[in-house]
């Protein structure tokens, strides 16, 4: 996340998937730690859904019923959205501590030039 931001990428939201995303503690702390909106979609097999949608789009384009230039508008999954709140300062402190520890263990691996 830090590398992306240093390269000018504006991180507005983060998607959390998997079992840990359903933990209340993760949902409560993740927005503050990431400093961004956190979206937790309903559990599903998203890799399989993505593959099925790509296949449906390719078939539709081959049959002339869908445009090959733009994907169809698929309905998004229901999701919970969590915003950074009063804990943002705590999350930033945790990220600073993490960064300092990471840099001690892996010096130079995450320099600003990375």
Q: Residue 76's pLDDT is what?
A: 87
Q: 2-67+78-105 has which CATH code? A: 3.30.420.40
Break the chain into its structural domains and give their ranges. Answer: 2-67+78-105
Chain segment 71-99, per-residue pLDDT in tens: 999 998 899 999 998 888 899 899 899 98
pTM: 0.72
The one-digit pLDDT tens for each residue of the chain (114 residues) are 888 888 999 999 999 999 999 999 999 999 999 999 999 999 999 899 999 999 999 999 999 999 999 999 999 889 999 999 888 889 989 989 998 999 999 998 877 654
Closest C-alpha among 25, 31, 1 to residue 98:
1
Q: What is the pLDDT of residue 113?
A: 58
Report whether 39 contacts 16 (CB < 8 A).
yes
Pinpoint the alpha helices (H) of the chain: 2-6, 24-34, 46-63, 88-105
């Amino acid at each position: 996340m830090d590398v992306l931001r240093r390269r000018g990428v504006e991180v507005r939201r983060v998607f959390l998937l998997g079992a840990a995303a359903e933990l209340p503690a993760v949902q409560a702390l993740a927005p503050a730690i990431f400093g961004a909106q956190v979206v937790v979609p309903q559990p599903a097999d998203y890799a399989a859904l993505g593959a099925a949608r790509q296949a449906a789009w390719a078939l539709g384009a081959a049959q002339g019923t869908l445009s090959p230039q733009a994907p169809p508008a698929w309905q998004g999954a229901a999701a919970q959205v969590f915003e950074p709140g009063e804990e943002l300062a705590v999350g930033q402190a945790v990220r600073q501590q993490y960064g300092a520890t990471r840099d001690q263990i892996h010096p130079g691996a995450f320099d600003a030039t990375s």
